[in-house]
Amino acid sequence: MSERVTVDMWFDPICPWAWITSRWLLEVERVRPVEIRFHVMSLSVLNEGRDLPAEYQALMKSGWGPVRVCVAAEQRYGTGALRDLYTALGNRIHLQSEQLTGELFTAALTDAGLDPELAGAAERTEFDEALRASHEAGMRPVGTDVGTPVIHAPGPDGKPVAFFGPVVTPAPRGEVAGRLWDGVLLVAATPGFFELKRSRELDPIFD
């Protein structure tokens, strides 16, 4: 097997499409020589100052809490803690349809083996500078007209590539996941390639 390489994904815990992509990447980790490392971006930061429908504005307001909790945990425990915390948050947000409350954050931190007191970070702005820095690091290579998931990876020639997506549902498994990874990486590393898209006909499937 080839030497393992690090692949970085930027996520916002509230995005269902990013959640599915993250589960696919963890499957890719099983069948390809990659190690997935998670980082925080924020749809609330991305959409600051934009003219949004009232319902989406409300979601962006509540979206500050989970990303602040993630940054607080990363500062306390290191970036590696985000893997288990993201899983714990995603299980509760997307699989169990729990509301974005302090109780959810406390439970997710406990699930991940982290200090549940970090849930209090959801209501504090002291982590926002670090949150914005993490967001900027993820979004800088891909621009601000995309959201999450964002992935940074070594391309087939070893040079770094960054891209939004893929948006896929449900998460592919086994060798199918690996083949999708091979194809996405090949396309993303093609000079001058920017977009491949079709209309979505399915809602997120979390199987």
Residue 92 CA to residue 153 CA, distance in Å, equals: 28
The model's pTM is 0.94
Per-residue confidence (pLDDT) for residue 31, from 0 to 100: 97
Tokens found for residue 87? 């899983």
Per-residue confidence (pLDDT) for residue 80, from 0 to 100: 98
Per-residue confidence (pLDDT) for residue 135, from 0 to 100: 98
Per-residue confidence (pLDDT) for residue 144, from 0 to 100: 86
Can you list the residues of the chain whose pLDDT is less than 70? 1-2
Beta strand ranges found along the chain (DSSP E)? 5-11, 34-40, 150-154, 160-164
Name every residue whose Cβ is closer than 8 Å to that of residue 182 and which is 6 or more positions away in sequence: 32
Evaluate whether 8 touches 152 at the Cβ level (below 8 Å).
yes
Per-residue confidence (pLDDT) for residue 158, from 0 to 100: 85
Residue 126 CA to residue 68 CA, distance in Å, equals: 9
CA distances from 207 to 20, 117, 180, 203, 204 (A): 9, 31, 18, 12, 9
Cis before residue 33, ω within 30 degrees of 0? no
Per-residue confidence (pLDDT) for residue 157, from 0 to 100: 85
